[in-house]
Amino acid sequence: MEYGSIAREIRIDAAPEVVYEVVSRPEHLREWWPDEAELEPVPGATGVITFGTRTSPDAKVAPLTVVEAEPPKRFSFRWVYDEGERATAANSLLVTFELVPSGTGTLLRFTEEGFREKGWEAAVLEEAYRDHVTGWDHFLPRLVAYAARLASTP
């Protein structure tokens, strides 16, 4: 994808049905990501994930909206938007887990995209910095071309 996305693939020795539960059910989410998760894994449902102790004033609560829930194939949600707003492509990140049967296990494809250009920035800045260490001469013409291409992308 041209702009903002992280993509990963991981092979898991567990059936897609099991992996689906782990990525979508709050009791499992708590084990691999936030400290608390309140979420109904059905399309359109909104929930919250909490980092830190919920009763603590420092706890960080993030809203989350389920986009797709197709067991055992696909689970996606939007997050990183302001509480009280409706999650859209313009104000949030879309996380997608795609589960592909692979032998007796599962190939889990993960993407996070719609970075308000963040992911794109990550790549560009990283490259910018690396090249900056060795000199900007090689890099500048490319950055300019890349920026122009991005600017002309609707």
Q: From the CB of 47, what's the least distance to another protein, in Å?
A: 17
Q: Give the H/E segment covering residue 148.
A: helix 139-152
Residue pair 66/40 in contact (Cβ under 8 Å)? The answer is yes
Q: How far is CA 96 from CA 16, 18, 31, in A?
A: 15, 17, 18
CA 14-99-26 angle, to 5 degrees, is: 75
Closest distance of CB 132 from another protein, Å: 7
C-alpha pair distances (Å), 138 with each of 125, 131, 134, 135:
15, 7, 9, 7
User: Site for another protein (CB under 8 A): which residue of 48, 67, 100, 143?
Assistant: 143
> Of 26, 46, 48, 51, which one interacts with another protein (CB under 8 A)?
51
Residue (44 or 71) nearer to another protein, CB: 71
Contacts of 123 (CB under 8 A, 6+ apart): none
Q: Do the Cβ atoms of 113 and 1 come closer than 8 Å? A: yes
Choices 37-45, 65-73, 83-91, 136-144; region in contact with another protein by CB under 8 A? 136-144
Side-chain-side CA neighbours of residue 10 (13 Å):
9
Scanning 40-48, 71-79, 84-92, 110-118 for contacts with another protein by CB under 8 A, the matching segment is: 110-118
- Binders of another protein among residues 8 to 47 (CB under 8 A) are 8, 10, 12-15, 18-19, 21-23, 28, 31-33, 35
Q: Which residues bind another protein (CB under 8 A)?
A: 6, 8, 10, 12-15, 18-19, 21-23, 28, 31-33, 35, 51-53, 56, 58-60, 106, 108, 110, 112, 115-119, 121-122, 124-126, 128-129, 132, 136, 140, 143-144, 147, 150-151
